[in-house]
Structure 1
């Protein structure tokens, strides 16, 4: 998706991963529309294996995502990247870019949440599984977690993926989050909602913060 304002200021948004992407996509589209009113152009690509991509997710690796994000930024000549939550681990190839990062989490945190969801679902269906058993299973072949089929390499790479630290970065968190950061945004943790939702005030605040960051 692309909203290109008549402005030299442009940013590429990288959506969260897996279920968090579904819960936050409406909010991110609202951010792009708000950026347009602030005369900021934006683009939000689909990662391989997600949304309109024709590549099966189980064949995708974290390395594929990192290369795809890098290629997209180069093709569109974009040097400012805004990543959300787990997608921070997909932008590591863009070391020279300027990065705006919202509430970043490492890969192992993403997987732990998905594994716990699988354990709970298995329990409801009368199966007894553990995090250790599922982790071992993921190391030998594709595994279904929270409706997503992950290949063993993607699982392994994500499990080792740390939050990147860039020379030029701004880390933004919710006001309710006490982790270290460079700024705070009022709003709610949409990624924790049971269903996709939006927060117009938060979307507007994120857009204003990104626009201000682009001016620095």
Structure 2
């Protein structure tokens, strides 16, 4: 899959507009609709949106590696899972409170944000590595010497952080399904990569586990 590696002023200015727009959108949305707990969803959704804008600018798919052409069916399946999952967790925390882990607040929410920041940072770092490396050279990078799919690991970390960030018991209950979809996507892409660029056997997502 080809990333956008050139400066495109139209896309750049559009992304800049989106940065400004979504910052004020989420800040005003939660400030006007919540009496308390405003900071957690505001920080989370602004960070999520900013990361998506960065991926969009470089023509990188949000939830796949972008290293090889993604599977359209798997992309749709994960999108159909992720967006309702995200909305459910957000609504649980912000408005309905139907499965809130109140006794763990605010520590669980802060912990979730930290985990989300780590996953997002890893997505951006691995995106920059992919932008500056050819596919055969990726295996020579430090992180790719340990695992073959660090971009999916980052997505996995982001996903796991969501029920923590929004302290949602129902979110934790639905989380395993998303984890399985991510692992399946990573295995699918890994087969394609290994077919054309076989590398020494390393772990898929997590050293010594997966």
Q: Smaller-chain TM-score range?
A: under 0.3
Scaled by the length of structure 1, the TM-score of the pair is 0.27
Structure with more strand by fraction: 1
Structure with more helix by fraction: 2
